[in-house]
Amino acid sequence: MENFIIIPFTVGLIYLTLVLIYRFVKWVRGLSKLDKLRLVQSFKIRRMLRSLKEVFYEGLLHRKIFRKNPVLGYMHMSLAFGWFLLIVLGHIEVMAARRSLLVPFYLPVFFRYFETGTTFFASGIFSFLMDFFLLIVLSGVALAMLKRFKKQLFGMKKTTRLKTGDRMALTSLWLIFPLRLLAEGMSAELYGNGSFLTSSVGHIIGSFSSESTNLVLWTAYSCALGFFFAALPNSRYMHIPTEVLLIFVRNAGIRLKKRNNTYTDIQVFSCSRCGLCLDNCQMAAAGINHAQSVYILKNIRNNNLTDEQLFNCLLCGKCEVDCPVGINTIDLRITQRIESTLQYNSSYNYLEDLPARKASTIYFAGCMTHLTPGIIASMKTLFHMAGENVWFMDEEKAPCCGRPLMLAGQHDAASKLIVNNTRKILGSGAKTLVVSCPICYKVFREDYELGNVEVLFHAEYISRLIREQIILPGKTTTRIVYHDPCELGRGMGMFEPPREVLRATGKVIPVKNEKQMAHCCGGSLGNLKISQQERAVLRNQAVKDYQQYLPDVLATACPLCKKTFARHRGIEVMDIAEIVVSSIRKSAEVVPVKASVKEEAFAEELV
């Protein structure tokens, strides 16, 4: 037997191992001190088991892809899990054959070449299983080839564009298993060491059988393997080893904190460029096909990210929903924006320190609600009915909440506004802060440090008033379709309170694209590049979808969504606060329930 056939494989494997060790060490060393501590502390049995379980489910079985599309899931599972089993079983087989736990690393790979016809314990079962799993892997390869040409069969509208390095790796990956089949088939024909699959293939190619063709086929197989291993670090297949590291690092609680560190690299290299995010991205409808998350990740990795791409994103978060690797695409993009605009942050040194007013509750309308005075009027009515001692903090003059700056990457500038607002909120001694804009809500919850002040979204506040029967909306047969605002739904995970409020006033119609899969209205502040015409395309697409359900009113809980949809002119749009107030009026329940108690306080408010 010629030993040189193991050389391509061995060289490739050694190169891959060295690169992986180098990169993993670099990445872990690049984490902040605190993150390293987190990682060390995560080395506990239960956490490790959880991570291993996730590696098994997502890295091998690909459960998330299965959920999205079973055929696509099978394709990934057969390749990953099938190959994994071939490796594990191959080792066990060799151990059984050699009756030793220590076997040369290359032997399981070239076992059928070196072991010519010896029988050992359960050798028949082993060769049957090895053939069986080879068949599974081959079915995955066949599906992968089919997917390249007929992606619609896999429930995908789009697939990613490949670059040369990826193409080379892809070709060698596609060749590995067909070559293995041919090589093992030939050996089976020559030495009779195959099972159902390899023997049959051996019979078919039997007329070419000779020691030399056998050698050529096994050499080709070794070359394909070696080539794939060598190409892997510089191709998208780097995601295979990196994803394992990502799972451990993520489960240690490590996140991006407004600045790039090696956690960015770990996420970037974990992207398999499967393209599932492409189908979820609405911007393609407006002809924007270059700024999706998969391309951003690729361009970060290749150091050729442009601002045009970076800022052409609604930050709606839909791409995150189906990412099989669980990459935090939004955090990642905002962090890139922060880094790319570091020198442009305004000092905001003209901000005034206005005095706070003592109150038990603060209402912060925010810039967007100021553009929809209908919502402000409804909120004032509700506060009045609740007899609340409210300070309308930004009625006359107040800085923005900071979130739009955050979305633009202006983190330092946003911090100035946050400090200014925080001082006032804490100074008022309020226990509750009510906001009616999801954009404000997100930043108040995530980036402000407000101690014991409870931040309530108006939906929560109103549903509380309804539950405590402080306000009594009248239920009608109005058909309501509720639009989940991005910042509130996917952004903050708040899906139920607005629906709860609406159910008290009418019939809430469930729609196909809701909650995690809700549309973006197109008005997003996150996109700094999109044109008004392109926004209108996205808006019309969403409205068309909602109109199928024949709603009397399209309800939303975001002033920006409301404004965006109203401009469509073909559908009535209302904020949940407005719907509640109008339903109270309709049911003639205008008498404020608790108003007598603190009405004077509020009257003073108005003056």
Partner 1 sequence: MNRFLPDVLIHTTEMMKNKHVAVIGGGIAGMEAASVLARQGLKVTLVEKQKATGGKLNDWHHLFPDFSSPGVVVENLDKKTVRAGVNVVCHTEISHIERNNGRFELSDQRDVKIFADAVIVASGFHVFDATLKEEYGYGLFSNVITSVDFERRMKKHGKLLTLQGTEPRRVAIIHCVGSRDAKVGNIYCSKVCCITGIKQAIEINKMLPECEVFCFYMDLRLYGSKFDSLYLEAQKRHKIQFIRGRLSEAAERPDKSLQLKAEDTLQGRPLRMNVDLVILLVGMEPALSNSSLMRNNQMKPDENGFFRSVNMHEARNVGTQEGIFMAGTAICPMAVNETLENARSAALEVMNFLRTDKNHGGF
Q: Which range binds partner 1 by CB under 8 A, 110-118, 286-294, 415-423, 560-568?
A: 560-568
What would the x/- binding string for partner 1 be over residues 372 to 391, using CB under 8 A? xxx-xx--------------
- Which residues are within 8 A (CB) of 343 and not within 5 positions of it... i.e. 6 or more apart? none
Please state whether 507 falls in left (phi above 0), alpha (psi between -120 and 50) or beta. Answer: beta
Cβ(390)–Cβ(602) under 8 Å? yes
CB of 372 to partner 1, least distance (A): 5
Question: What six digits make up the tokens of 294?
Answer: 């998969």
Residue closer to partner 1 (CB basis): 127 or 436: 436
Q: Rank residues 466 and 520 by Cβ distance to partner 1 and give the closer one.
A: 520
Closer residue to partner 1, CB minimum distance, 590 or 606: 606
* Residue 566 makes contact with partner 1 by CB under 8 A: yes
**Per-residue tokens: 417:** 């506004």
Which CA distances in Å does 501 have to 50, 561, 578?
38, 18, 11
Three-state secondary-structure class, residue 347? coil
User: Given the rule CB under 8 A, which of 30-38, 137-145, 325-333, 531-539 is the region that contacts partner 1?
Assistant: 531-539
Complex with partner 1: residue 499 or 562, whichever CB lies closer: 562
Closer to partner 1 by CB, 395 or 412: give it: 395
482: which DSSP letter? E
Identify which of residues 225 and 560 has a Cβ nearer to partner 1 in the complex: 560
Least Cβ distance, residue 391 to partner 1 (angstroms): 15
Query: Applying CB under 8 A, which of residues 331, 395, 412, 589 lies at the interface with partner 1?
Result: 395
Of 197 and 365, nearer to partner 1 (C-beta) is: 365
- The closest of 51, 29, 55 to 42, measured between CA atoms, is 51
For residue 371, state whether it binds partner 1 (rule: CB under 8 A).
Answer: yes
Question: Closer to partner 1 at the Cβ: 287 or 451?
Answer: 287
**Between 200 and 531, whose beta carbon lies closer to partner 1?**
531
Pick 165 or 374: Cβ nearer partner 1: 374
Least distance (Å) from partner 1 to the CB of residue 283?
18
Phi/psi for 521 (5° steps) reads -70, -20
Half-sphere exposure of 575 (CA within 13 A, CB side): 29
Nearer to partner 1, 136 or 417 (CB): 417
List of residues 6+ apart from 600 with CB closer than 8 A: none
Q: Which one of 16-24, 241-249, 296-304, 528-536 is the stretch in contact with partner 1 (CB under 8 A)?
A: 528-536
Taking CB under 8 A as the binding criterion, the range among 85-93, 294-302, 324-332, 561-569 that sits at the site for partner 1 is 561-569
Q: Is residue 536 part of the contact set for partner 1 (CB under 8 A)?
A: yes
Q: Which residue has the tokens 């009405």?
A: 599
Q: Per CB under 8 A, does 452 bind partner 1? A: no
Minimum Å gap between C-beta 16 and partner 1 is: 53
How many residues touch partner 1 under the rule CB under 8 A: the total is: 21
139 to 23, 78, 197: CA distances (angstroms): 33, 7, 13
Cβ contact 332:256 at 8 Å: yes
Stretch that binds partner 1, among 156-164, 354-362, 392-400, 580-588 (CB under 8 A): 392-400
Which residue, among 234, 389, 355, has the nearest Cα to 298 in the 3D structure?
234
Considering the complex, state which of residue 185 and residue 485 has its C-beta at the smaller distance from partner 1: 485
**Is residue 287 part of the contact set for partner 1 (CB under 8 A)?**
no
Residue 99 or residue 569: which is nearer to partner 1 going by CB? 569
99 binds partner 1 (CB under 8 A): no
Query: Between residues 349 and 533, which has the closer beta carbon with respect to partner 1?
Result: 533
563, 571, 595, 598: residue in contact with partner 1 (rule CB under 8 A): 563
Q: Which stretch binds partner 1 (CB under 8 A): 261-269, 364-372, 407-415, 488-496?
A: 364-372
Which residues are 23's β-sheet partners? none
Question: Which stretches does DSSP call E strand in 500-572?
Answer: 507-508, 553-556
Q: Which residue number, 232 or 405, has a Cβ lying nearer to partner 1?
A: 405
Is position 527 an interface residue for partner 1 (rule: CB under 8 A)?
no
Task: Check: CB of residue 241 under 8 Å from CB of residue 20.
Answer: yes
- Compute the least distance from the CB of residue 380 to partner 1, in Å: 10
The piece of 20-28, 102-110, 278-286, 368-376 that touches partner 1 (CB under 8 A) is 368-376
Q: Can you tell me the distance from the alpha carbon of 320 to that of 280, in angstroms, rounded to the nearest whole number?
A: 9
CB atoms within 10 A of CB 216: 15
CB of 326 to partner 1, least distance (A): 36
DSSP letter for each residue of 207-270:
GG--HHHHHHHHHHHHHHHHHHHHHGGGSGGGHHHHHHHHHHHHHTT----SS--HHHHHHHHH
Under the binding rule (CB under 8 A), the answer on residue 599 touching partner 1 is no
Q: Could you give the dihedral angle defined by the CA atoms of residues 185, 187, 191 and 194, in that order, rounded to the nearest 10 degrees?
A: -40
Based on the shown chain and the rule CB under 8 A, indicate whether residue 284 belongs to the binding site for partner 1.
Answer: no
Query: Per rule CB under 8 A, is residue 45 in the interface with partner 1?
Result: no
Rounded CA separation 182/209 (Å): 11
Which residue among 352, 353, 396, 449 contacts partner 1 (CB under 8 A)?
396
Q: How many residues does the chain have?
A: 607
User: x/- string (CB under 8 A) for partner 1, residues 483-502?
Assistant: --------------------
Other CB atoms within 10 Å distance of the CB of residue 486: 28
**What residues does 42 pair with on adjacent strands?**
none
Q: Which stretch binds partner 1 (CB under 8 A): 8-16, 132-140, 198-206, 562-570?
A: 562-570
For residues 214 and 183, is the Cβ–Cβ distance under 8 A?
yes
Residue type, 481: V
Q: Does 347 bind partner 1 (CB under 8 A)?
A: no
CB 187 within 8 A of CB 216: no
Minimal distance in Å, beta carbon 314 to partner 1?
16
List % helix, strand, coil for the chain (3-state, nearest 5). 60, 5, 35
Single out the residue of 36, 529, 567, 598 in contact with partner 1 (rule: CB under 8 A).
567
Q: Does 29 bind partner 1 (CB under 8 A)?
A: no
d(CA 193, CA 123): 9
Q: What are phi and psi of 220, to 5 degrees?
A: -60, -40
Residues that bind partner 1 (CB under 8 A): 370-374, 376-377, 395-397, 531-533, 536, 562-563, 566-567, 569, 606-607
